Amino acid sequence: MNTRRVVITGVGVLSPLGNDMQELQEGLETSRSGVVHVESWSEYKDFNTRVCGLVQWDDYKAIPRKSRRSMGRVAIMAAKTMQDAVADAGLSEEQISNPRTGISFGSTMGSDAALFDSIGTIAKEKTFIGQNSMSFLQFMSHTVAANIAAMFKIRGRNIPACSACTSSSMAIGIGYESIKYGMSDMMFVGGSEEAHPYNAGIFEIMAATSTRYNDTPDQTPRPFDTERDGLVTAEGAGTLVLEEYEAAKARGAKIYAEVIGYATSCDGEHITTPSSEGMEQVMRLALDDANITPDKVGYVNAHATSTPKGDIAESHASYAVFGDKTPISSTKGYMGHILGGCGVVESIIGLISLKTGLLPANKNLVKVDETCAPLDYLFEHRYGNHDIVMNNNFAFGGINTSLIFKKIEE
Amino acid sequence: MTEELVRATLKEVLIEEFEVEEDEIKEGANFFEDLDMDSLDAIDLIVMMDKKLNIDLKAEDAQKIRTIDEFVALIMTRA
C-alpha cells in the first residue's frame, strides 16, 4: 500500500507549566511544578484531595463571543491552542477550510462546570424551563471537536476522539492515519480537559487520588516513586497541525518532527485495572508501524500517573520492550494528569525533547518502587543526541495508544 | 414594572451577557441585523430576561422579537 509521510508543522499548548511551547520547555528545564493547593474543594464533604494542576490563562475574549458561547473552559482552552497552532503554521483560511483538511479532538468529558450548572438544577427541580440553549453544547462529549469545527470553518472530516486519558493521543493517531492513508492532506489534532472537583472526585471514589501532599503540592504526583499516593488531576489543552510531508516541504513550512508510528489497541480485560501485556502490545505495534527496532528510540515519555498499579504495570511493559537502556520519564510529576489533554501535551514535550535534546527528569522520583521494573529512570535532566521519541498513554477501558516522533533532518 | 426598568435591564443583559457595545443599543436596533445575534441568542435572551424580571416569557416568544422596541413592548404586555 502506498502511504504518505506525516509531519507536524504547528503547535499550540496551554498547560500548568506554561501557555506556549517555550514556557513549557522552561518549566521543564527549571523543574517547576504546576500543581497547586485548591482550597475551594473543601466545600465537598469527605473529599480529601486538594491538589490540581491549573492553567494560568483566562483571556476568554481571545475567542469571539459567537464561537465562545457554546464552549465551556474545556473547549475554550482547546480553541485558543488551535488559534496558536494555526498562526504558528502560517495557514490561510483557504487551507483551513479545504475539504481535505480535517480535525480530530477529544476530551474525557465536555465542560464539567456546564454539566453541573445545568443537570443539577434539572434533576432537582424536574423542569427544563430556565435552561439556556448553550449548556448542552458546552458539556456534550464532542464539544471540543464540534466547537473548533464551527469556529474555524472546517469542511473536511471531523472525528472526535473521546476515550478518557487517550483522547488526545488517539486524536493525533487519527490525524496521522488520515493523512498517511490519503483521506486528508492536513489535520488539526489534539485535546483538552478542564479542572473540576468532579474529575478528581471520580478518582477519589476509586481511592486513586493523591491526598498526602495537600500542603506540599509540588511534591506530588510522584510517578514510580515508593512514596507515591495516587494521581493529581490537571487541566490543559493542545493542538498539533499535521500535514503531508511533501506538501509541507513545498510550502516551506517549519517542521517540528515527523510522526513515524502510531498504534492503538485494547486490553479487552478489566474496565479500570491496567494490563502490562496490553501496554507492551501497543508499544510493539507502534514500533512495527514505524518499522524500527526498540533500540532506535532515545526517550520514552511514560503515561505513569502515580497510581500504585498503573506505574508498576507500565514499568514492566516498558522493560519487556526496551530493557534498561532507554531513558524514560513520566512528566506528570510537573503538572499532574491532564486526562483527555495529556496525550497531546506529552507529545509536545516529546517535540521539545527532539528539538533541545532534553531528557526530562521524573520530577519527585527519589526512590523507585522496588516492584517496578529496573528501567533507565531519569532522576535528573540529561541531554541526548536522540532523534526518535515515543509517547505512551493508557485509558479506562483498557484503551492504549503509542506514538512515535522523529526529528526531520535539516 | 416600568418601561424604563425593562429597557435598563435589557441594556445590562445585552452588554454583560452578549457583549454588545453600549453605543449599538439604540431604539429600533434589530437584534439580528444590528447586534450580531441569532435565534439561539434570542432564546437565551428570553431566558435571562425572564429570570431578571420574573415575567412569563417562553422560548417560543423568541420567534416574535426582532427589535429592541418589539421586545420591550412584548415584555410590557406580560408585566
Query: Which H/E stretch holds residue A176?
Result: helix A167-180
Touching check for A131 and chain B: CB below 8 Å? yes
Q: Cα dihedral angle (A21, A26, A29, A35), rounded to 10 degrees?
A: -90
Single out the residue of A339, A344, A39, A18 nearest to residue A169, CA to CA.
Answer: A344
- Mean pLDDT of the region A156-166: 98
User: Distance (Å, rounded) from C-alpha A30 to C-alpha B6?
Assistant: 56
CB contact under 8 A, A130 and B51: yes
pLDDT at A244: 98
- What does chain B come to in residues? 79
Q: Which residues of B touch A133 (CB under 8 A)?
A: 40, 43-44, 47
pLDDT at A323: 98
CB contact under 8 A, A132 and B36: no
User: Distance (Å, rounded) from C-alpha A51 to C-alpha A336?
Assistant: 9
Name the residue of chain B whose CA is nearest to A135's CA: B44
A318: left (phi over 0), alpha (psi -120 to 50) or beta: alpha
CB-based contact A65:A26 (threshold 8 Å): no
For residue A337, the cross-strand partners are A233
- Share the mean pLDDT of chain A: 97
Touching check for A69 and chain B: CB below 8 Å? yes
DSSP at A368: B
The CB density around residue B71, as the number of other CB atoms within 10 Å, is: 23
pLDDT at B59: 84
Q: Which residues of B touch A132 (CB under 8 A)?
A: 43-44, 47-48
CB contact under 8 A, A132 and B44: yes
pLDDT at A234: 98
Per-residue pLDDT tens over the stretch A190-215: 999 999 999 999 999 999 999 999 99
CB contact under 8 A, B40 and A134: yes
User: Distance (Å, rounded) from C-alpha A98 to C-alpha A106?
Assistant: 22
Q: What residues in chain B have their Cβ under 8 A from chain A's Cβ atoms?
A: 18-19, 36, 38, 40-41, 43-44, 47-48, 50-51
Give B29→chain A minimum CA distance, Å: 19
Sign of CA dihedral B11, B17, B18, B23: positive
Percent of chain A predicted with pLDDT > 90: 97
User: What ipTM, to 2 d.p.?
Assistant: 0.89
Q: Is the pLDDT of residue A1 over 90?
A: no
- What does chain A come to in residues? 410
Per-residue pLDDT tens over the stretch A230-245: 999 999 999 999 999 9
Single out the residue of A170, A204, A214 nearest to residue A190, CA to CA.
Answer: A170
pLDDT at A293: 98
Name the residue of chain B whose CA is nearest to A64's CA: B19
Q: Is the pLDDT of residue A106 over 90?
A: yes
CB-based contact A14:A168 (threshold 8 Å): no
With cut-offs at 50, 70 and 90, classify the pLDDT of residue A110.
very high
Q: Is the pLDDT of residue A13 over 80?
A: yes
- Mean pLDDT of the region B29-35: 96
Touching check for A127 and chain B: CB below 8 Å? no
Residues 6+ apart with CB under 8 A from A98: A155, A156, A185, A186
pLDDT at A383: 98
Per-residue pLDDT tens over the stretch A390-404: 999 999 999 999 999
Instruction: Name the grid cell of A290.
Output: 514505524
Single out the residue of A264, A282, A260 nearest to residue A179, CA to CA.
Answer: A260
pLDDT at A326: 98
B14: left (phi over 0), alpha (psi -120 to 50) or beta: alpha
Provide the whole-model pTM: 0.96
pLDDT at A410: 61
Name the residue of chain A whose CA is nearest to B45's CA: A132
- Catalytic choice (A142, A196, A316, A337): A337
Per-residue pLDDT tens over the stretch B41-63: 999 999 999 999 998 888 888 88
CB contact under 8 A, A131 and B47: yes
Q: Is A266 a catalytic residue?
A: no
The CB density around residue A336, as the number of other CB atoms within 10 Å, is: 32
Give B40→chain A minimum CA distance, Å: 6
User: Distance (Å, rounded) from C-alpha A40 to C-alpha A58?
Assistant: 18
Touching check for A97 and chain B: CB below 8 Å? no
CB contact under 8 A, B44 and A131: no
Q: Which residues of A touch B60 (CB under 8 A)?
A: none
Per-residue pLDDT tens over the stretch A304-343: 999 999 999 999 999 999 999 999 999 999 999 999 999 9
Per-residue pLDDT tens over the stretch A249-304: 999 999 999 999 999 999 999 999 899 999 999 999 999 999 999 999 999 999 99
- Catalytic choice (A165, A196, A316, A386): A165
User: Distance (Å, rounded) from C-alpha A193 to C-alpha A73?
Assistant: 8
